[in-house]
Amino acid sequence: IAWVKQLETTPDTPLFLRVYPKCQIIPSQEPEIRFQVVAWGVENRWEEQSGEFLIKGVWQFVPQLRTPCISVYRNWDATDPTEKFKAAHLPVLMRRSDGVNPFRFNPKIPSEQLPKRYFVEGKFRLIPSKNCFGWVEDLSAPSSSLPRYKKPVKAMQKERSSPTNTPRRRQAQGTSLDISS
């Protein structure tokens, strides 16, 4: 929150923020794009222009969105004490003429016949009216060889209570205690 104090004390000085985009996806609702501030300064010391994002990841469809997205996974050598890595799925609009298409999983097709997954690296701009990012240019050609990444942790489902897990059942199945003294 130091950057907020900097902005309050010197409102006339421009402030450059380095942010990571995050997307909250709720089924049957529009995705909500948010940003996490990771660095700030009074000078733009980064290579990107204001409003540009360098996004690198797997271009694919996810079940919750109609728009293809770039799935950003954690690097293989990344460390996190909780080990709860989650992928960031960022919706992008990108038309390509080189035959590269977003991956779409179909469980009815054998795995050897599924289309290729492509790792893309590019510059993107936020399109607030469409709640997604728009492709500007490639940083490198799309590659069908994916870099190593950590698999995201899936959320644990709550255990359903069964009749044998209710307190009354456990009490009936437990050992009897003699409390008459």
3-state secondary structure of 35: strand
| Contact (CB, 8 A) for 144 and 128 | no
- For residue 61, the model assigns a pLDDT of 93
pTM for the whole structure: 0.72
**Number of C-beta neighbours around residue 49 at 10 A:** 10
Each residue of 88-107: pLDDT tens digit?
Answer: 899 999 988 888 999 999 88
| Contact (CB, 8 A) for 57 and 71 | yes
Q: Of 102, 126, 103, 95, which Cα lies nearest the Cα of 31?
A: 126
Each residue of 118-160: pLDDT tens digit?
Answer: 999 999 999 999 889 999 999 999 998 887 776 666 665 554 4
